Amino acid sequence: MDLLNTLVEKGLRRETPTREEALAVLATSDDELLDVVAAAGKVRRQWFGRRVKLNYLVNLKSGLCPEDCSYCSQRLGSKADILKYTWLKPDEASQAAAAGIAGGAKRVCLVASGRGPTDRDVERVGRTIEAIKEQNEGVEVCACLGLLSDGQAERLKTAGADAYNHNLNTSEGTYGEITTTHTYADRVDTVQKAHAAGLSACSGLIAGMGETDEDLVDVVFALRELDSDSVPVNFLIPFEGTPLAKEWNLSPQRCLRILAMVRFVCPDVEVRIAGGREVHLRSMQPLALNIANSIFLGDYLTSEGQAGKADLDMIADAGFEVEGAGTTTLPAHRADALAAAGGGSGSHASAGGCGSEASAGCGGHGEAAGGCGPCGGHAAAPADAPAEVPAAASEARTDLVAVRRRGAGTDLAPNT
């Protein structure tokens, strides 16, 4: 296809495709799908070889968030039966992180529900970062705490944080239909604060909330403009008890097209398959590794992922290799730019981020969640409206949505 040849050439040159080209990727047919994956794979291999970076989530504080993000199982008013606990102590968090590192994770993502951290919270997380780094030389740490106030990003950087995650989630035009307690501009401001402090910026999206192709292209182009080093792609996990529980709009084929579009628009950044991959990609997960160069190992914030050993077997069976701790994730030009901005060169040259299960911070810690009620144009149709199922929609696989009952906040061993 001329389209794919053009996109490969642009990706190898780090040239931005047009909006029309990005939309055309999402509109390709199932007959063209393997060609789309192969083309995106050429761009992926140019900048990241056959390496797969493993990231590990530690949910420092679960549930009871005051924000109303419709996708989140930790949101205000959520009836999802998730774990709820207050802050882990630094030694507890460090112990949880060590389990992921032992399983092969290169980066630890420290996430806490809430609108944003207080200065006391930043101090607490700073002590946790110091404890993790003291016990695990060379590990990268990404913080994900919600909206940042002035000076907080700098304090996290001083404490040893390498990156900060805060997802845009959806397009600016539709953001108000998903969340009302903060704005899209608030999220952009936090990503910019992280950049300014010399932290590697991680920001991504959630697909499957009822958005249009135009919405997806809008948010990915916005992420490119923000110059995020890492773009986590979450696939909505429709949790019972949250407003998007009836939103089952994704098929494995749709997920692959979305990942490919992100790779073409952001060719040289870390593209991570984040929350929802087991639910929506299912047996197509190995194929997605040809597009994305990063995944989370084991469980997510409030949901369980596939077994950590299965993740490692999948990577090996697909012909990829786990990225070692001594390898710089980002291509040299991005790593050098990050170092020049004060972000260092080796340990935080990958943008990591916590974009798993929907967003981080501002109530977006609950996996791309879901629930039972309407939420603007992104929710299920009202009960008296005729059901409309998108042609590409997957059947509801509620059997694949498992609430996390192990790891951080419990007495059970984590899934690593």
Domains by residue range for the chain, with CATH: 2-375+395-400 (3.20.20.70)
Given this model, what pLDDT does residue 362 score? 36
Give residue-wise pLDDT tens across range 360-391. 333 333 344 332 222 333 333 333 333 344 44
Given this model, what pLDDT does residue 390 score? 43
72-82 b/e (C-beta count within 10 Å ≥ 16 → b) = bbbbeebebeb
CA count, 13 A, side-chain hemisphere, 256: 27
Question: Token pair 């509620």 is at which residue?
Answer: 398
Q: How far apart are CA 177 and CA 377, in angstroms?
A: 6
* Range of weakest confidence among 79-93, 152-166, 385-399: 385-399
165 DSSP assignment: E
Given this model, what pLDDT does residue 394 score? 61
Give residue-wise pLDDT tens across range 305-363. 899 999 999 999 999 999 998 899 999 999 999 998 887 544 433 333 344 444 333 33
So which residues are the catalytic ones? 65, 69, 72, 109, 142, 202, 272
Under 8 Å between Cβ of 221 and 22: yes
3-state secondary structure of 94: helix
Q: What residues have CB less than 8 Å from 399, skipping those under 6 apart?
A: none
Given this model, what pLDDT does residue 342 score? 81
pLDDT at 14 over 60: yes
Tell me, letter by letter, the H, E, C secondary structure of 9-51: HHHHCCCCCCHHHHHHHHCCCHHHHHHHHHHHHHHHHHHHCCE
- Span 163-185, average pLDDT: 95
H/E stretch holding 56: strand 51-61
Distances (CA, A) of 173 to 183, 212, 214, 243, 261: 11, 11, 10, 19, 20
Please report which confidence band the pLDDT of residue 55 belongs to, taking 50, 70 and 90 as the band edges: very high
- Span 297-303, average pLDDT: 85
